[in-house]
Structure 1
Amino acid sequence: MTTTASPAAPPAPTAAGGAPTAPGAPATAPPAHPTSGWGSTPRGLRTWGALAAVVTALTGLFGVLAVSSQSLAVDDARDAAAQLVGLQDARNQLVAADAAATTAFLVGGLEPVELRTRYDAAVDAGAQALTSLAATGPDGADGLAAVSADLTRYTGLVEQARANNRQGFPVASAYLEEASAVLRDDVVPALDALVAAEQQQVDDEIATARFAAPMVVAVAVLALVVLALVQVWVARRTRRTFNVGLVAATVAVVLVGAVGGAVLGGAGARAAQVRDDAYRATVQTSQAFALVNDARSQEAFTLIRRGSGASYEETFRANVADARTALERDGVRLDGSLVDRLDAWVAAHDEVRQRDDDGDWDGAVAFVTSDDPGAPPALFDALSGALAAAVDAGGQQVADGLRPAGAWLGWALLAVGGAGAVLAWTGLRPRREEYR
Structure 2
Amino acid sequence: MNTILIKAATLVNEGKIYVADVFIKDGLIEEISPEINRSADQEINAEGLHLLPGMIDDQVHFREPGLTHKADIFTESMAAVAGGITSFMEMPNTVPNTLTQELLADKYKIASELSLANYSFFMGASNDNIEEVLKTDPAKVCGIKVFMGSSTGNMLVDNEQVLDNIFREAPILVATHCEDELTIRTNMAAFKEKYGENITIDMHPLIRNAEACYLSSSLAVSLAKKHNTRLHILHISTAKEIALFDAVTPLAAKRITAEACVHHLWFSDQDYAEKGNLIKWNPAVKTAADRDAILKGVLDGHIDVIATDHAPHTSEEKAQSYLKAPAGGPLVQHALSALLEMYHQGKISLEQIVEKTAHNVATCFQIDRRGYIREGYWADLVLVALNDPVKVTKANILYKCGWSPFEGQTFKADITHTFISGNLAYHKGKFMTNKTGQRLAFNR
TM-score range, shorter chain: under 0.3
How does the TM-score come out when normalised to structure 1?
Answer: 0.25
Which protein has the larger Cα radius of gyration, Structure 1 or Structure 2?
Answer: 1
How does the TM-score come out when normalised to structure 2?
Answer: 0.25
Higher relative contact order, structure no. (Cα contacts within 8 Å, ≥ 6 residues apart): 1
Higher share of residues assigned helix: 1
Higher share of residues assigned strand: 2
